[in-house]
Amino acid sequence: MDIQRKEELFEQAKQWILEAGSHIRDHIDAPRSIETKSNPNDLVTEMDQQTEQFFADKIRANYPDHLLLGEEGFGDSLEDLKGTIWIVDPIDGTMNFVHQKRNFAISIGIYEDGVGEIGLIYNVMEDVLYSVKRGQGVFKNEKQLPEHNDSRPLKESILTLNTTWLIPENPHVEHDSIQELVKTIRSTRSYGSAALELAFVAEGIVDGYLTMTLMPWDYAAGAIMVQEVGGTVTRADKGELDLLNSTTVLACRSNIYDEIIDDYVQLKTKESDR
């Protein structure tokens, strides 16, 4: 992407994400109606929908030739990744938004012909913006994050992980392989927002994030950030991420990547059969 164009797009996206976040903060204590989607624990609120609508209106008015891929259905349905695509999760961590009123983020990844160029993850209640322009480093607010250069071994690593993958009945991964992983590492954390968990991997405050069921809007921005600081991000079977489908994701320091997948992650179903 042309450097000048990238700069302009970045500044515009940054202005909109801060504006949307400020609106959510101002209404954090307002009464809200909560609906469920695929199951009783899969929540959505009018704030998720309004926020995605906000981005859809802004993008269509200002960049009519761009496309939007969003969680709540206000975007376009895409058959391929050609062109400039905004991949937006209006609230990542809706359950945290509803129950905790913190620990949720707005996530925006801007891709051109399938290549991630710009990423923004806004931790709304803490007013912390993680941002990246590919090739120009990752920033936490105004401060540039260092490249991953710590080669701590897996046994001294902290991974973010949903406890779902330790339950025998989960359909995606052999739970005992994940138990072995948990026994090996230093500790686990579960923040409940994929976007924030990826930003934390980029920041180096956790060493990796492993999950089985992400959609493109969950990781579009975070994957660019982790790669930019030298980390590795792929499917949990080492395949390339597919931005058009649900996917497993491992994002981590590059020095622990092979060991996690080769020695611990035993998937129940082939990614191609999901």
Q: How far apart are CA 8 and CA 225, in angstroms?
A: 19
Interacting residues with ligand 2AM between 211 and 230 (CB under 6 A):
213-215, 218
- The reply, when asked if residue 29 is annotated as ligand binding, is no
Size of the site for ligand 2AM (CB under 6 A): 15
Interacting residues with ligand 2AM between 32 and 91 (CB under 6 A):
38, 42, 71, 89
Considering the complex, state which of residue 166 and residue 215 has its C-beta at the smaller distance from ligand 2AM.
215
Interacting residues with Ca ion between 24 and 53 (CB under 5 A):
none
Distances (CA, A) of 260 to 212, 256, 266: 14, 6, 10
Distances (CA, A) of 217 to 30, 156, 236: 26, 30, 18
- The reply, when asked if residue 57 is annotated as ligand binding, is no
Applying CB under 5 A, among 52, 56, 71, 120 the residue interacting with Ca ion is: 71
Considering the complex, state which of residue 117 and residue 218 has its C-beta at the smaller distance from Ca ion.
218
Name the phi and psi angles at 36, rounded to 5.
-115, 155
Considering the complex, state which of residue 181 and residue 241 has its C-beta at the smaller distance from Ca ion.
241
Applying CB under 6 A, among 49, 94, 123, 131 the residue interacting with ligand 2AM is: 94
Distances (CA, A) of 261 to 173, 251, 267: 12, 11, 10
Query: Residue 89 interacts with Ca ion (CB under 5 A)?
Result: yes
Applying CB under 5 A, among 92, 117, 207, 228 the residue interacting with Ca ion is: 92
Nearest distance in Å: CB 94, ligand 2AM: 4
Distance between first and last Cα of the chain:
33
Nearest to 239 by CA among 272, 190, 216, 191: 272
Considering the complex, state which of residue 170 and residue 213 has its C-beta at the smaller distance from Ca ion.
213
User: Segment contacting Ca ion (CB under 5 A): 92-100, 119-127, 169-177, 251-259?
Assistant: 92-100
Q: Which residues of 227-256 are buried (b: 16+ CB within 10 A; e: fewer)?
A: bbbebbbbbbeeeebebeeebbbbbbbebb
Considering the complex, state which of residue 104 and residue 111 has its C-beta at the smaller distance from ligand 2AM.
104
Nearest to 107 by CA among 20, 33, 6: 20
Applying CB under 6 A, which residues contact ligand 2AM? 38, 42, 71, 89, 92-94, 162, 192-194, 213-215, 218
